[in-house]
Amino acid sequence: MEFFYEWVGRLFEWIQDLGYFGIMLGLMMEVIPSEIVLAYGGYLVSEGDIHFLGAMIFGTAGGVLAQLFIYWIGRYGGRPFLEKYGKYILIRKHHIDYAEEWFNKYGTGVIFTARFVPIVRHAISIPAGISKMSVGRFTLLTTLAVIPWTALFLYLGYVLGDQWERIDEAAGPYIQEILLVALGVMIVYFIVKWMKSTKVRS
């Protein structure tokens, strides 16, 4: 465990040295949660080391690329591969179980909403890949979800400054609000989808 914390500390130094690219690569590696990487990025913004817009662009790119990587593993490696090696990117069997349940129940539209749900947000890309969901649709929905997530944690990291490690405590109320909005979007999506299917049948 001591080695892990030492390694994480070096990763943060690496992010600081590389700036924007450090944030993007830190998110792509999925070694530590994205909210921590982004909060640290916000802290770097508060220190004047990088600019918020650049951190947004590279943070969004890193978040999307990380999920595309998991999508492709699901598409070509399948569930057995992820059950065996997923622990190296912080994905466990119960994450996959929840993600598949959500995906099978709500369909491709859940790719957006699930990004704000703690248990399934990292693993929802797996059933999308296994089902061979359109890459374009997957990328669009993922990007639309990653943008507000990136902005939120960069902003909170900026506000917290050198206390950015308190990110979990600070983010709680905001995540609840975003989740409510996301659920509202999902409800509207399914209502529109239902209305279209009813119109086609008539």
Give the DSSP per-residue string, the chain: -HHHHHHHHHHHHHHHHHTHHHHHHHHHHTSS-HHHHHHHHHHHHHTTSS-HHHHHHHHHHHHHHHHHHHHHHHHHTHHHHHHHHGGGGT--HHHHHHHHHHHHHH-TTHHHHGGGSTTTTTTTHHHHHHTT--HHHHHHHHHHHHHHHHHHHHHHHHHHGGGGGGHHHHHHHHHHHHHHHHHHHHHHHHHHHHHHHHHHH-
Structure confidence at residue 23 (pLDDT): 84
Structure confidence at residue 118 (pLDDT): 64
| Region 50-63 average pLDDT | 93
Reported as a pLDDT band with limits 50, 70 and 90, residue 6 is: low
The segment with the largest mean pLDDT, out of 71-85, 90-104, 136-150, 152-166, is 136-150
Higher pLDDT, 14 or 144: 144
| pLDDT at 191 > cutoff 70 | no
Question: pLDDT for 105-142, tens place per residue?
Answer: 767 777 777 777 766 777 788 888 888 888 998 999 89
Output the pTM of the full model. 0.74
> How many angstroms separate the Cα of 16 from the Cα of each of 5, 60, 85, 169?
17, 17, 29, 23
Domain definitions of the chain by residue range: 1-171
